[in-house]
Structure 1
Amino acid sequence: MMHIPAIGMGTYRLTDQVAFDSVSMALKAGYRHIDTATIYQNEIPVGQAISKSGIPRDDIFLTTKVWMNNLSAKNFIDSVKVSLDNLDTSYVDLLLIHWPSPNNQVPMSEYLSLLANARAMGLTQYIGVSNFTINQMKTAMDLLPREHILTNQIEIHPYLQNKKLVDFCQSRHILVTAYMPFAVGQALKDDTIIQIANLHNATPSQIILAWMDSKNLIAIPSSSKQANLENNLLYTQIELTNHECQLIDSLDKKQRIADPDFAPDWDE
Structure 2
Amino acid sequence: MDYVTLNNGLQMPQLGFGVWKVKDEEATPAVAKALETGYRSLDTAMIYQNEHGVGKAIKDSGIPRDELFITTKVWNADQGYENTIQAYEESLNKLGLDYVDLYLIHWPTPDYDDYVDTYKAMEKLYHEGRVKAIGVCNFDIEHLQRLLDECDVTPVLNQVECHPYLPQNELKQFCAGNDIFVEAWSPLNQGGDALQNEVITRIADSHGKTPAQVMLRWHLQNDTIIIPKSETPSRIEENFNAFDFELTAEDMKAINELDRNERQGPLPNEMNIR
Please tell me the TM-score bracket, short chain as reference.
over 0.9
Please provide the CA RMSD for this pair.
Answer: 1.5
Cα pair distance change 1:165/1:265, threshold 3 Å: farther
Q: Name which of 171, 193, 198 aligns with 1:165.
A: 171
Structure 1 residue 151 corresponds to structure 2 residue 157: yes
Structure 2: distance between partners of 1:3 and 1:180: 22
Q: Name which of 255, 261, 266 aligns with 1:259.
A: 266
Offset of residue 3 of structure 1: 3.2
**TM-score (structure 1 length as normaliser):** 0.94
Unaligned 5+ runs, structure 2: 1-8
* Deviation >4 Å, runs of 4+: none
- Give the AA of the match of 1:153: Q
Q: Name which of 24, 28, 33 aligns with 2:32.
A: 24
- Give the AA of the match of 1:224: E
Structure 2: distance between partners of 1:10 and 1:109: 26
Alpha carbons 2:41, 2:70 under 8 Å: kept:
yes
Structure 2: distance between partners of 1:163 and 1:133: 12
Offset of residue 143 of structure 1: 2.3
Structure 2: distance between partners of 1:121 and 1:193: 46
Structure 2: distance between partners of 1:57 and 1:187: 36
> After superposition, where does 1:114-129 map in structure 2 within 5 Å?
114-129=121-136
Unaligned 5+ runs, structure 1: none
- Give the AA of the match of 1:101: T
**Equivalent residue number for residue 50 of structure 1:** 58
Structure 1: distance between partners of 2:245 and 2:160: 24
- Give the AA of the match of 1:174: I
1:47-77 per-residue CA deviation (whole Å, 9 max, x = no partner) reads: 1001101101111100000001111234111
Offset of residue 182 of structure 1: 0.6
Q: Name which of 94, 104, 118 aligns with 1:96.
A: 104
1:76-118 per-residue CA deviation (whole Å, 9 max, x = no partner) reads: 1111100000000010000000001332x24433111111012
3-state secondary structure, aligned to 1:4: strand
Offset of residue 265 of structure 1: 6.4
Offset of residue 226 of structure 1: 1.4
Structure 1: distance between partners of 2:129 and 2:23: 28
Alpha carbons 2:18, 2:227 under 8 Å: kept:
yes
Structure 1 residue 85 corresponds to structure 2 residue 90: no
Structure 1 residue 244 corresponds to structure 2 residue 261: no
Structure 2: distance between partners of 1:29 and 1:139: 40
**TM-score (structure 2 length as normaliser):** 0.92
Structure 1 residue 233 corresponds to structure 2 residue 240: yes
3-state secondary structure, aligned to 1:75: helix
Structure 1: distance between partners of 2:98 and 2:199: 45
